[in-house]
Amino acid sequence: MNDRFLRACRRQPVDRTPLWIMRQAGRYLPEYRELRQRVDFLTLCKTPDLAVEATLQPLRRFPFDASIIFSDIMLPLEALGCRMTFNPGPKLAEPVRTRAQVEAMTLRPMAEVVPYVGEAVSLLRRELDGKTPVIGFCGAPFTLSAYLVQGEGKEGFGKVKAMLFREPATLEHLLDKLTMAMTDYLRLQIAAGAQAVQIFDSWAGLLAEPEFRRFALEPVKRIVAGVRDLGVPVIYFVNAGPHLVDAAVEAESDVLGLCWRSPIGATFDRLGSRVAFQGNLDCHALFAEPAEVAARTTAILDAVGGRPGHVMNLGHGILPETPIASVEAMVSAVQSWTPRELAAAAEERA
Ligand code: CP3
């Protein structure tokens, strides 16, 4: 089996830095757009054969070192009675704004609500047959609450931040329910065969450190502890969070996913003995010419310098308009990088 991704998550030595890309299945791929003309997004997520097909599409083009099951962070919220549509982002039928609404949410077991996710994970494991490990995922409670309270994706997510300061106990009550739901959800995916899991905190960066600790980190700590006995690596991705990285280590995840704003070399210097890191090429860098993409990819690998515990990735999800040639340039820069080349280049410069 190709296990360099799992080895890097555990900070073990690897033959080369593993690479996968957040949102690697999706609209930048013509074959995904073709698939989406035939089926709507929710049907795609809820039909195991089709979800596996979408998951495998990027792997047929690129030699990525991990696959992430095709789904969405919002789908398991059906377990709490939340109804939504996608266009393309999630839109809640009824935003959650009151204490009474939070109290009325009763939690159903994930195995009943999203059985298709477990089926898709097992099917994917069989199809891949060890070619790459499978990553399961969930949204972090704070990020999920941002969508639930706002009702849709919105710059700044003012509604959840207002609730945080005006009615912190209500938000904490909602976060509690989401924490239990997501622990159950990750356990279901791991039982079905997921070999690592990622917790996406896409909106944690909206918070200053004290609020991050209480409303984002605390729930994630409980989720990490709640799946620890299952023995798979956990990745915690904190978007827009250079000011939160030192606190985020306390989640006790195996890997911290860095957004593109963090200087990865300096972050390794400071915290590399405590956690592995994933990232962090700016997703907009993929709009540069291929040679520039390769140079920027190499710069990140140089900054890490081959230290164990690095999973190469973007600093946020790949964007729909991204050229395929840029992904190819990133892949070959990762494949051809060696510390020895670095030394040779330095010698040449001298
Ligand atoms: O390869 C993969 O990573 C695919 C699986 C995946 C999707 N969403 C599919 C999807 C994953 C891991 C996600 C996570 C997700 N979903 C996050 C966290 C990551 C991040 O980008 O911060 C968030 C915040 C969401 C919520 C969400 N779902 C948004 C904001 C959108 C719309 C805009 C967008 O980025 O595409 C979705 C819909 C969605 N989820 C699509 C896909 C492929 C597009 C739907 C379509 O095909 O029309």
Q: What is the full DSSP assignment across 277-321?
A: EE--B-GGGGGS-HHHHHHHHHHHHHHHTT-SSEEB-BSSPPPTT
Contacts of 40 (CB under 8 A, 6+ apart): none
171 phi and psi, to 5 degrees?
A: -60, -40
Query: To test ligand 1's pocket by mutation, which of 55, 73, 138 has the most ligand atoms within 8 angstroms of CB?
Result: 73
Closest atom of ligand 1 relative to the 24 alpha carbon: 1
The residues facing 255 across adjacent strands are 235, 276
pLDDT in the model for residue 345: 65
Amino acid at 59: L
Instruction: Evaluate: CB of 167 within 6 angstroms of ligand 1.
Output: no
pLDDT in the model for residue 349: 74
> How close is the Cα of 321 to the center of ligand 1, in Å?
14
Domains and their CATH numbers in the chain: 4-349 (3.20.20.210)
Instruction: Evaluate: CB of 200 within 6 angstroms of ligand 1.
Output: yes
pLDDT in the model for residue 1: 82
Q: Is 78 exposed, middle or buried (0-12, 13-18, 19+ CB in 10 A)?
A: middle
**Do 10 and 305 contact (CB within 8 A), yes or no?**
no
Query: To test ligand 1's pocket by mutation, which of 21, 50, 72 has the most ligand atoms within 8 angstroms of CB?
Result: 72
Q: Could you report the average pLDDT of every consecutive run of 10 residues in the chain (350 residues)?
A: 96 97 98 98 97 98 98 96 96 97 96 96 97 98 98 97 98 98 98 98 98 98 98 98 98 98 98 98 98 98 96 98 98 90 66
pLDDT in the model for residue 342: 57
**Do 345 and 305 contact (CB within 8 A), yes or no?**
no
Distance between CA atoms of 127 and 207, rounded to whole angstroms? 41
Active-site residue numbers?
A: 23, 27, 36, 72, 147
Q: Which residue has the tokens 């081959």?
A: 306
Q: Taking the complete model, does pTM exceed 0.95, yes or no?
A: yes
**Do 329 and 66 contact (CB within 8 A), yes or no?**
no
